[in-house]
Structures are given as structure tokens and as C-alpha cells.
């Protein structure tokens, strides 16, 4: 049942929702597509939020699809409009203002929100998370002039946010509960090189450290660690991971574990309701990364428009800039050092490169400071390439055999 009368509703205008809308339009040139977002601007790059925070890019620079794109593709985008309810029997969504919109196919792409750990004082003024343009605006407004910024969380987002504010003249201290920085993308050796480079740039670190309490009257003035250490600050940014925004899904009785459970077609357990992106869990995995959300959105859109596409999972891979330095990590990084690995490092140049090989199969990599050949390596990881015949060449970092 395709054609002019199909009504598609998408809740969420991040990468998953937008990829779905684009794919629906490829297969169904006539159907009615409406996208709802509670944000004030069209689809933008969360990855480039850091440039916005640093003052290196304006809001217009980080918007990926401007109004013209929606017009050209005949997609109705309703900004500043949140959905408060779904009636799956009547096939209607209800806005917070009480307006009702009916649908034939519905996509939940509500994304994720920043997780705030239960640290006493986390509700004080001057404590922020960074997920949206609004969050960045609040931080910029509060951080006028140089000051002491404390990061709770030594992951990519925290370090990037810290570096953006360092460029604005702030002093940066980071507290990480793990014994190393970037625990998801770096092994201990690589993390040590990263830490050394950041310290030269002016960062201060407290690793293997638990936050006990945020101090101050109504405003955050410091953080006390479990061991009793007190760190003074003017502003705190918490980046402790992402949790799915699953309120709507739960409200209509869908099952949410780490995320909302979907099948290979991105279908939920309710007919004609699909889900994709940072909201979902697929085969026990909650991804929370851009490439996975984009692929899931494409699959959902294809199937909503009558196609038949299946999601086979996404290799956990990230290509990032950490404080302006290239980092690429994919697959099994073997942080415990239990597998066979080829490692090249140059502490003076802050370069760390590692290939993880298990049972002669290339299964993961870390490239920091020099990501040459990453696409070739990632393809070999995805294809589970047997590298038994080229191990010597790989040991000399000759990737021509891949």
C-alpha cells in the first residue's frame, strides 16, 4: 500500500530520523512525510557541536540539511514540537499542545540523552551536560570569561568539550572513574600517550577517581572525590555516557532493556511502529554511535516504504578528533592485552598504532596520531580477513596486502 495516501510520521530529527525520511522519499515519491523535533533548528551534526562550543563554527555551519533540503524532498519538518503521546490503536501521535496527527507508518527516533550519575549536588547551577545546541548555548553563556572547568568523565565528548573551553581561555581538569582515558577506544598503552599529550596542552587529570559530592551553595564551586580530594571549579560538565530517551516507547508498552528492542527490520512489537538510532537495542547491543544510527535509519525508512532491508549490526568503529588529533578505533581493541597484537608507537610524536589479530583474523585496531590506511584496515576487519600470510608485512606496517 504505497502512493499518495501513505502517511509517514517520524519522531526525532537526528541522523536516524533524517536517514529514514531520505530513504522513504527514495522509494515513495508521493507519500506524506512529517518529522517532529523538539529542537529549534533542522538536522545538525552533533559531532561538530564541539566546534560550535569552541567558537570555531556558528549554528548555520553545523546544520547539515537546511530548509531547502526539506522543501526539495517534500518533507514537512515541525521544529520546537514535542510528542507527548501515541495512540497505537487509532494510529495517531499527540503533540504537547494537544494536536493530533495520524499515520500509516511511525518511526521512533527519539535518540539518547546524557546520563547524569547520582552525585549529590548535580542539580546545582553551573553543572551541565552536552548533547544539543541548546546545551552548548547554556555552557557558553555561563562560561563567559576564563575560569576553572571540571569534566566528570574522560571519554571523547568530555575531552572535546574541555578542549573547546580551553580554547576560550579556561583551565581544564578531568575526573575519570576508569584508570585510563577513553576506555572504549584506547588500551592502557595508547591512553598513556594520549594523556601525556593532553598534559602538555594544559589538562590536569584525576584517574581511577570517583565523584562523591558537588559542593557550593546554589552554584557548583567544587567537587569532592571519594578519597577526600577537593577540586575547586567554576563550572562542571558531566559526560558519563548516553541513555535512550524511551519515555514514549514505555508509555505504549514497548519493551526497553538497554534500549528499545527491535528486530532486523527495525520493527518494534507493535505493528507499523519502527525504531532506530540511539533509542534502540538490536540483538543485545546498544550502539550509541553515529554510523549505526545512520544505517538503522536507512533500514527503517526502506522497510516503512515497502522495501525489505535487514540490519546485520555495525562494527563498533569511531573516527574522531580528540583535541584536534586523529583517533580511529574499530572492533576488538583488546584492552587487556590477551590477543596477539602488532604495536607501533612513537612517544615523542604522540603516535600509537595497534592491530589486533586473533586466530589469524584481523579483529580490531587503534590508530592515534596517524590514521593512514584506516579505511583499508576497517574493511579487512568487517570482512574478517585472514592475515596469516602477511603478518611479517603488517609487523613492518606494510598494509598493501590487506
More confident residue, 126 or 4: 126
Give the Cα separation of 219 and 127 in Å (integer): 8
Q: What is the pLDDT of residue 34?
A: 98
Per-residue pLDDT at 308 exceeds 60: yes
Per-residue pLDDT at 4 exceeds 70: no
Query: What residues does 322 pair with on adjacent strands?
Result: 325
Per-residue pLDDT at 3 exceeds 80: no
Q: What is the pLDDT of residue 191?
A: 96
CA angle 159, 160, 162 (to 5 degrees): 65
Q: What does the mean pLDDT of the chain come to?
A: 94
- All structural domains of the chain, each given as residue ranges with its CATH number in brackets, are 7-113+242-304 (3.50.50.60), 127-238 (3.50.50.60), 317-395 (3.30.390.30)
Taking a C-beta distance cutoff of 8 angstroms, is the pair 309, 298 a contact?
A: yes
Per-residue pLDDT at 219 exceeds 70: yes
Taking a C-beta distance cutoff of 8 angstroms, is the pair 254, 260 a contact?
A: yes
Percent of the chain with pLDDT over 90: 87
Q: Given pLDDT bands bounded at 50, 70 and 90, which one contains residue 44?
A: very high
Per-residue pLDDT at 145 exceeds 80: no
Percent of the chain with pLDDT over 70: 99
How does pLDDT run across 361-377, given as a tens digit for each residue?
999 999 999 999 999 99
Per-residue pLDDT at 347 exceeds 70: yes
Q: Are strands 325-331 and 317-322 parallel, antiparallel or unpaired?
A: antiparallel
How does pLDDT run across 241-295, given as a tens digit for each residue?
899 999 999 999 999 999 999 999 999 999 999 999 999 999 999 998 899 999 9
Per-residue pLDDT at 2 exceeds 50: no
How does pLDDT run across 241-254, given as a tens digit for each residue?
899 999 999 999 99
Amino acid at each position: 500500500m504505497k502512493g499518495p495516501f501513505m502517511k509517514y510520521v517520524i519522531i526525532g530529527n537526528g541522523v536516524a530520523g533524517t536517514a529514514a525520511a531520505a530513504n522513504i522519499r527514495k522509494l515513495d515519491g508521493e507519500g506524506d512525510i512529517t518529522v517532529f523535533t523538539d529542537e529549534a533548528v533542522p538536522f545538525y551534526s552533533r559531532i561538530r557541536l564541539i566546534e560550535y562550543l569552541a567558537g570555531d563554527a556558528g549554528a548555520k555551519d553545523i546544520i547539515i540539511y537546511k530548509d531547502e533540503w526539506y522543501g526539495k524532498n517534500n518533507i514537512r519538518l515541525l521544529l520546537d514540537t514535542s510528542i507527548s503521546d501515541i495512540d497505537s490503536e487509532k494510529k495517531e501521535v499527540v503533540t504537547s499542545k494537544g494536536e493530533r496527527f495520524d499515520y500509516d507508518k511511525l518511526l521512533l527516533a527519539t535518540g539518547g540523552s546524557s546520563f547524569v550519575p547520582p552525585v549529590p549536588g548535580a542539580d546545582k547551577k553551573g553543572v551541565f551536560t552536552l548533547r544539543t545546541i541548546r546545551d552548548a548555548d547554556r555552557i557558553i553563556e555561563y562560561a563567559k570569561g576564563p575560569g576553572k572547568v571540571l569534566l566528570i568523565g574522560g571519554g571523547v565528548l568530555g575531552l572535546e568539550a574541555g578542549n573547546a573551553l580551553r580554547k576560550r581561555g579556561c583551565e581544564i581538569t578531568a575526573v575519570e572513574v576508569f584508570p585510563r582515558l577513553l576506555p572504549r577506544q584506547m588500551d592502557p598503552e595508547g591512553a598513556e600517550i594520549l594523556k601525556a599529550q593532553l598534559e602538555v596542552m594544559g589538562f590536569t587529570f584525576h584517574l581511577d577517581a570517583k565523584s562523591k559530592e558537588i559542593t557550593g551553595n546554589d552554584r557548583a564551586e567544587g567537587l569532592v572525590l571519594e578519597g577526600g580530594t577537593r577540586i575547586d571549579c567554576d563550572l562542571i560538565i558531566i559526560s558519563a555516557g548516553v541513555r535512550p530517551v524511551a519515555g514514549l516507547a514505555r508509555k505504549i508498552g514497548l519493551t526497553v532493556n538497554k534500549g528499545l528492542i527491535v528486530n532486523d527490520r527495525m520493527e518494534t512489537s507493535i505493528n507499523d511502529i519502527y525504531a532506530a538510532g540511539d533509542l534502540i537495542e538490536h540483538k543485545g547491543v546498544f550502539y550509541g554511535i553515529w554510523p549505526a544510527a545512520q544505517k538503522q535509519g536507512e533500514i527503517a525508512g526502506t522497510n516503512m516504504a515497502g522495501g525489505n532491508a535487514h540490519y546485520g549490526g555495525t562494527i563498533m568503529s569511531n573516527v574522531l578528533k580528540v583535541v584536534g588529533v586523529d583517533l580511529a578505533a574499530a572492533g576488538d581493541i583488546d584492552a587487556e592485552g590477551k590477543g596477539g597484537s602488532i604495536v607501533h608507537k612513537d612517544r615523542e610524536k604522540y603516535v600509537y598504532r595497534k592491530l589486533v589479530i586473533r586466530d589469524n583474523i584481523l579483529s580490531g585496531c587503534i590508530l592515534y596520531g596517524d590514521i593512514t590506511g584506516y579505511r583499508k584496515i576497517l574493511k579487512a576487519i568487517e570482512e574478517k580477513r585472514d592475515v596469516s600470510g602477511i603478518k611479517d608485512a603488517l609487523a613492518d606496517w606494510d598494509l598493501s596486502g590487506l
